[in-house]
Structures are given as C-alpha cells and as structure tokens.
Amino acid sequence: MLHRIFGIETEYGLLINEEQPDRPPSWIAYQIIDHLFRTKRSGVLDLHHRGYDEPPGNGGFLLNGGRMYVDMGHLEFASPECHSLRDLVAADRAGDWLLQDAIEELGLAEHVSLIKNNIDHETDATFGCHENYLVSRNFPFSYNGLGKLIPFLVTRQIFTGAGRIGSTENVDGWIPIERLSRDDRFTQDSSDSLTVPYQISQRADYIVNDFFEWVQHNRAIINTRDEPLADPTQFRRIHLLVGDSNISEIATALKMGTTGLVLQLIEDGHAPTGLDFHDPVEALREVSRDQERTWMLTLATGERLSAIDIQERFWECAHKHYHGQDEETDWILKEWESVLRDLRGDYTTLVGRVDWASKLWLLETFRQQESLPWEDPWLKSLDLEYHNVDPQKGLYFGLMEEGKAQAVTTRDAINLAKHSPPRDTRAFGRGEVIRHLAEEDWSDMEELEREERQFPPYVINWSVFQVRGRKAFLMPDPFRSYAQEVRDHLKL
C-alpha cells in the first residue's frame, strides 16, 4: 500500500490442558523461547537488558526480522516491518506456526494449546494485539487530527471484532461514573445469568480512555506515545491497542488495510468530519454489546447513525480519493464495501471472513443442538478453541477445510515468512545480521547472559545494531532494505 509500513504485535494465551498442572504457563513460555533460539537457531537471543522487565535471554530477533519474547508472562510475536498486506498476513501467520512447531517439537502438543485471543475467561485478564502504522512526521498528531480516527476505530469492530461470550466489568478497578448513576443493562443480574451473552469485541470492555500515552491499566483507543523506532525527524508510528487478535486472514487484512487508508485520508485532509462522539469509550462498548446488532449511535451533534453508516462514510471518502491508487488499495476497497453490505443482512453471510460472526455461528449451532444456556462452561471452552492456532484443533481451521473461510496468503508464503523477512523493508537488512550471527557458535551464551557486560558481543534493535564493538549501524528508514550495506558492514 502507498507509503505505509505495517506491523502487528500479538500476545498469545497459553492453555495447559490439565486440571492441576505442575508447571505455570510462564515456565512453558520460556521453554519455547529456549527451543526456538538455542535448539532451532531460528534467531539470536538478546544478550543485553532491553528494559527492567526484559533481561538477557528473555527473547530475541528472529531470522524473519521479527521478535519473539516473553512479555508479562505471555509469549509475544512482533512481526517484521511489512510494506504489503499480504506480507503482513503471511508474517502474522508465520508467528503462529513457529510457536505451534515448537510446542509439537517439545512434545507438549497434547497438553498445551496456544490461543490467539485477548481474554482469559476465568480471571478476566486481557492481553493485546497491537497494531503499528508508519506515518510521516507531518501527520497531524493532535487532538483535532487524531480525533478524526476515533469514529472509525470505535465502529470498525463490526468487521474486525473477534467476539466473546459474556463481559468484563470494572476492569482494573475502573468504574465509569455514568454506571454509578443508572441501572446498567449490561451487567449480570442476581441469578448470575448473562445479560450480555455474546459481544463482538474482546478488547472493548478493557478500553477506558480515548487518548493516553501508556499501554497498561489506562488503555486508550489511541496510544499517544511518540516512539517512531525510525528517524524521528521523518516518521511517526501510530500504535493502536484497541483491536482484537484476528484468526481470519481476511479480517486481519481488512483491519490493517482499512486503518491504513483512513490514516491516509487524515494525512491528505480528506477524512470525513462531524462524526465525533461525546463519549467514545461508551460508544465502543455500546457497539460491542448491542445484542440486536443495529449498532445505532448518537453523535455529538445529536444525529443518530449506525456503525455501518459511519463506516460507509469513511469508505466513500477512501473510494473517491484512492480508488485506482494501486492493486492492494483496490482490493481493500472492494472487500470493505462487500463486508459493509453484508453486515446489513444475515450475519451468517460473514462466516469465514469476520471472526465474531464465524464464532457466533459455530456457538449458536452447537448451543441449539445441545440445548445449552450461554453460561455453560462448555461454550466458553469452544470460544477459546476457535482461536487455537493448531490447525488440527482450532475451530476456525475447520471452517477453512470445509471451504467456508477464505485465505489471503498461501502455505508456501507462510513457510517462507517463518525464516525470511520481507525483501522491501529494513527487516531484510536486519535478517542478514541475524542470519550472520545465528551461524556463529555461541556455546557460551549462558555465561554471556549471566555476566554483567558493558559491551555484549552484539546488540540488535529495530533501527540499529552493533556487532563486536564495531561502529553502530543505523537503519533509520523502514522503507529501505539496507541489504548490501549490511553485508559490507559485516565483512569489515
């Protein structure tokens, strides 16, 4: 897509299929990291402290230019920088495959499942899917500029939501004032029967602000941290944590592609206006929890529009200004239009493309066959199994086998993306560094990790690396591959 670099960071849930496991999920997470980097040599471990919570050996960069590490007890995969949506989807799926391969090779597949979702039904904990979009430093990074993105993000969940059973109240102790002053139809009643049996987004209940700088506890629709991971005089990185993890390839591509086009509308001064909400956070929850799926919202102007109406206004602007821009843009515009049209009809027409609809159809079919109430633990178990990344177990992959779900990428492309970075971004140059280092003998790595070294043998970051005390090599432009320059530097 024109002038855009994409990236996805996915935190995975680890499900131990034992009533009384003798090891915590975090222990298994580190076994997987150890297998990937020490046994398989799929990358190189960090030998330096990346932060107070990321000691040496916590994770590292992979041969494909992305990162695999443990964050707050969760395995997390950060994709390499991608210039196309097809590369991004392939890289995203490659992260799933690398982890599933490790589980099988460690002999854990019968007891451990990787769940690509965003909630723990038992503890109400959440873990994220973070989106990254490179924009120019000239992007209007202000309330007025970013404010035009809010209505789009609030309503795009109608095709990007992953769906979930039930709801989460008072997350992190946060109690919205408006809920103290009225009866809340969205809570559980005294008999503990769910009045929100199913909602379309997993993250909506955990978002408590419209704008905020940090990512934990005070989660916002738009994260305002200025951390470009590139030349700060040329670029910004829009970092979003409002979205759900998608297992559908179509949903992943739509989520990232439509957001990229809306950012372009804002950059070019073409974004629709007059779509603001008095309370975007409450609007986010209203859309997610609407059991009738009419998704009607009241704008700050008093006008009543549906989430579909709002999305169609963004689509119309994007189609008017960017139709014919390039093949990928036209594909996104076509799929965006198609899904919005189908959202006005029977939701089952979206099975295979939209995660919340696919999961709802599966759960409703099973629930009716077995005469189960929504509170039944069996349904929550199936909710999780929809997101299982194991193709032999994940319910979504059953839809693919039946021809009910479309793919964006191919098995060959995913296999390639497990160990090869995109060739048209700086991930390719970083991959050359990692390949060079992975071929060396680091038999003393444990000793290197234990030692407090001022200058470790190598340091790798997104925009810079240094090897054996040589001059640091900067990679400030994510659009450049730096391949030949990196090779020349490593030969010095």
DSSP secondary structure string for all residues of 149-161: THHHHHHTHHHH-
Task: Tell me the pairing of strands 129-136 and 235-240.
Answer: antiparallel
How far apart CA 96 and CA 167 sit, in angstroms, is 27
Chain position carrying tokens 């696919």: 358
Angle at 432 between CA 415 and CA 429, to 5 degrees: 100
Sign of CA dihedral 384, 386, 388, 389: negative
Q: Give yes or no: 183 in active site.
A: no
C-alpha dist (Å) from residue 167 to 125, 197, 281: 12, 8, 15
Contacts of 268 (CB under 8 A, 6+ apart): 321
How far apart CA 316 and CA 347 sit, in angstroms, is 22
How far apart CA 17 and CA 344 sit, in angstroms, is 39
State the amino acid at position 302 in one-letter form. Answer: G
Residue tagged active-site, from 34, 46, 53, 71: 71
Q: Distance from first CA to last CA of the chain, Å, rounded?
A: 36
Six token digits for residue 160: 């990007």
Task: Tell me the pairing of strands 43-45 and 129-136.
Answer: unpaired
Residue 90 parent element (H or E): helix 85-105
Active-site residue numbers?
A: 71
